[in-house]
């Protein structure tokens, strides 16, 4: 089955990123999976939640928030603040992001601090949660490296990197990194989160009014592993680049980023 953008079944969309798009955050990145674009930031609060103090829990905490900006979809989406609370989908995704990152962060090494991760979708074209997890890991790694540089922590809290990708079955064929039209037509939709060593952090998968076989499950896992291996390499390049001396970034790089889409 030919894909709308000409990719092969096991090919990721074009992955782009711009670092330090939020200067007041400890680490930030604008990441794009094709036409899906998400700003991911990591901010450090020098305190822990009250429940940790009450229960005398050592170390720090990591929390995540996810939102889709009003103009991220074809039809304007109401701000969640106007409804008084996040919808069920946003709550589920931000819990997924938080769980995924806590699986690979040593919170005791963070010290008595809270790492706040924010993922804001600028444009949605499928795979916003997987782009958010992949970008958030970059932002968190950069934030930790800068804490180490400043001497605020003495050990690296990030035990290993994680990345995420969507895989689905569309008209009987396994496809990696679904765009919106593919996702909408999928018989089976899954999201896979793996560490850089290929360990599973989370697998979400369900048939959309359909069933799937064990062989199809294995094919989705195989494609997911391939895609995540490529995403980890992109993360490595981004994290290394962030620790180099100051470069011409910000507006100039953002203009270039949007210009080449």
Q: Which residues are annotated binding-site positions for phosphate?
A: 89, 127-129
Detail the residues annotated as belonging to a binding site: 89, 127-129
What the block records as the tokens of 217 is: 């499950």
Distance between CA atoms of residues 189 and 167, nearest Å: 6
Q: Which helix (H) or strand (E) holds 238?
A: helix 214-242
Q: Give ∠ CA 251-252-258 in degrees, rounded to 5.
A: 85
Distance between CA atoms of residues 97 and 139, nearest Å: 13
Q: Are 227 and 126 in contact (CB under 8 A)?
A: no
| Chain centroid, CA 112 distance in Å | 25
Q: Are 146 and 244 in contact (CB under 8 A)?
A: no
CB atoms under 10 Å from CB of 32, counted, come to 23
DSSP string, 35-53: TEEEEEEEEEESS--HHHH
Q: Which helix (H) or strand (E) holds 54?
A: helix 50-54
Distance between CA atoms of residues 225 and 195, nearest Å: 10
Distance between CA atoms of residues 37 and 72, nearest Å: 9
């Amino acid at each position: 089955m030919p894909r709308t953008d000409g990719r092969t079944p096991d090919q990721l969309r074009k992955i782009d990123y711009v670092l330090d798009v939020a200067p007041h955050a400890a680490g930030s990145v604008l990441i794009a999976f094709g036409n899906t674009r998400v700003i991911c930031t990591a901010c450090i609060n020098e305190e822990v939640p009250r429940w940790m103090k009450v229960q005398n829990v050592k170390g720090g905490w990591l929390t995540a928030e996810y939102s889709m900006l009003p103009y991220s979809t074809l039809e304007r989406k109401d701000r969640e603040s106007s409804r008084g609370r996040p919808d069920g989908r946003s709550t589920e995704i931000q819990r997924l992001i938080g769980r995924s990152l806590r699986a690979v962060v040593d919170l005791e090494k963070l010290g008595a601090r809270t790492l706040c991760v924010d993922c804001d979708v600028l444009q949605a074209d499928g795979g916003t949660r997987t782009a958010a997890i992949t970008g958030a890991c970059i932002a968190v790694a950069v934030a930790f490296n800068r804490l180490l540089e400043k001497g605020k922590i003495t050990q690296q809290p990030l035990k290993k990197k994680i990345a995420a990708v969507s895989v689905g079955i569309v008209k009987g064929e396994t496809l990696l990194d679904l765009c919106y039209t593919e996702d909408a037509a999928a018989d089976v939709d899954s999201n896979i989160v793996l560490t850089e060593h290929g360990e599973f952090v989370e697998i979400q998968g369900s048939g959309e009014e359909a069933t799937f076989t064990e062989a199809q499950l294995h094919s989705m896992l195989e494609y997911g592993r391939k895609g995540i291996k490529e995403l980890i390499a992109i993360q490595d390049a981004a994290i290394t680049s962030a620790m180099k001396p100051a470069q011409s970034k910000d507006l100039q790089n953002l203009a270039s980023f949007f210009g080449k889409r």
